[in-house]
Structure formats: C-alpha cells, structure tokens
C-alpha cells in the first residue's frame, strides 16, 4: 500500500513538473520567404529559422510571394515556440515553429497549399497526407496544372547561371590584325 501511494505521489509530481515547464517563446520579427523567418529570443538575440521538412516556392517563382504573405499573416509579430536546434549549411536554425494556440506553421503551409513536403528531409506521414489533401482540393500552388517544386526550380536557375558563365568564357576572342599584317597578307 505504501509503495502504491509513493508511486502515485511521484507520478503526480512528475506530471505537475512537466505541465509547469517553462517553454521559451520567441517573437516573429521577420519573414524572409515562405519557409524562412527571423525570431527574437527573450534575451533579444535574433535567430534565422528555416522551417523543417517543408519547402515553399522561391520568391521569384509562382506562388512564392503568396507563400511569404501567408506565413507573415499567420505568424508575424506573434509569440511562437521553436522545436529543434539543428543548423543548416547557411547557419540557420532548422525546426518547427508552433504558435501559442498550438498551430504548427510548417504543417499549416503544406495544408493550405503553400509548400511541399520536403521529402529529401522528411518522412512524415502527416505532412504527406496534408500535401495530398491540398493537391486534391487544388489549394494554393496546386491551382497550377504542373507546379515546379522549388528544389527543381533552384537547380534549373543554377544550371542557367553556370551556362551563362560558360558562354562568357567561351566567347571567341576576335583579335584584330594590325594594318601592317593585313597589307602583307594581301597579294
């Protein structure tokens, strides 16, 4: 009996501590594009966050500006919880952003048709289902007949930049013959 009472008290204490755990909240102070934002920590440190497992159209791509506006309307100026602390090659924190009301910004972007599930980095069945529903309902970018995934768009842009550089380098160098040389060659 004593063991059961002690166990029950311990369980209640663990639950109480878990529920009262102070979670750090950040203020959204900037939205760079649909899946990248700037958060301000309680100690006034700026943190650039790349939303995990999703990929929005690039700003110069169809629906890129709409994705940015959607993200801004959803969370700019609001307090959010940041889940995750990995960093990408650009030094951005990669994670999920959750509003105080529990709305997961990453999931909401996919659900409303403003992002793809980034399958290279995500195996989430929930995100896959949200994307499929958005496609079926032709929401956001799914209004297009054949939307280009942002990873393909970036790859194509990079290829075009490289080709442009190669063309500049391969331009034939038109050397002018000196007048003296031209005179001696002509018979």
Identify the domain containing residue 61 by its residue range. Answer: 22-145
What band does 1 get if pLDDT is binned at 50, 70 and 90? Answer: low
Does a structural domain hold residue 9? Answer: no
Pick the catalytic residue: 53, 58, 96, 108?
A: 58
pTM for this prediction: 0.75
DSSP string covering the chain, please?
-HHHHHHHHHHHHHHHHHHTPPPPEEEEEEEEETTEEEEE-TTS-EEEEEETTEEPPPTTSTTHHHHHHHHHHHHTT-EEEEEEEEE-TTS-EEEEEEETTS-BHHHHHHHTTS-EE-TTT---HHHHHHHHHHHHTT-GGGGSSSPPPHHHHHHHHHHHHHHHHHHHHHS---PPPPHHHHHHH--
Pick the catalytic residue: 23, 53, 89, 92?
A: 92
76: domain CATH number is 2.40.50.90
Does a structural domain hold residue 95? Answer: yes
Give the tens place of pLDDT for each residue, 139-168. 999 999 999 999 999 999 888 888 877 777
Number of separate domains in the chain = 1
Give the tens place of pLDDT for each residue, 74-90. 999 999 999 998 999 99
**Catalytic residue at 58?**
yes
């Amino acid at each position: 009996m004593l063991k059961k009472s002690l166990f029950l008290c311990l369980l209640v204490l663990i639950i109480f501590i878990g529920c009262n755990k102070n979670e750090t909240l950040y203020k959204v102070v900037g939205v760079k594009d649909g899946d990248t934002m700037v958060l301000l920590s309680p100690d006034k440190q700026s943190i650039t966050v790349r939303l995990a497992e999703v990929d929005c159209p690039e700003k110069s791509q169809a629906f890129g500006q709409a994705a940015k506006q959607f993200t801004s309307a959803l969370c700019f100026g609001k307090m959010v919880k940041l889940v995750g602390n990995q960093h990408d090659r650009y030094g951005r924190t990669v994670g999920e952003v959750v509003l105080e009301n529990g709305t997961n910004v990453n999931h909401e972007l996919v659900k409303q048709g403003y992002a793809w599930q980034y399958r290279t980095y995500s195996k989430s069945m929930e995100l896959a289902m949200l994307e499929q529903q958005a496609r079926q309902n032709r929401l956001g970018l799914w209004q297009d007949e054949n939307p280009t995934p942002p990873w393909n768009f970036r790859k194509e842009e990079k290829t075009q930049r490289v080709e442009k550089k190669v063309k500049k380098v391969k331009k034939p160098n038109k050397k002018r013959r000196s007048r003296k040389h031209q005179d001696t060659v002509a018979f």
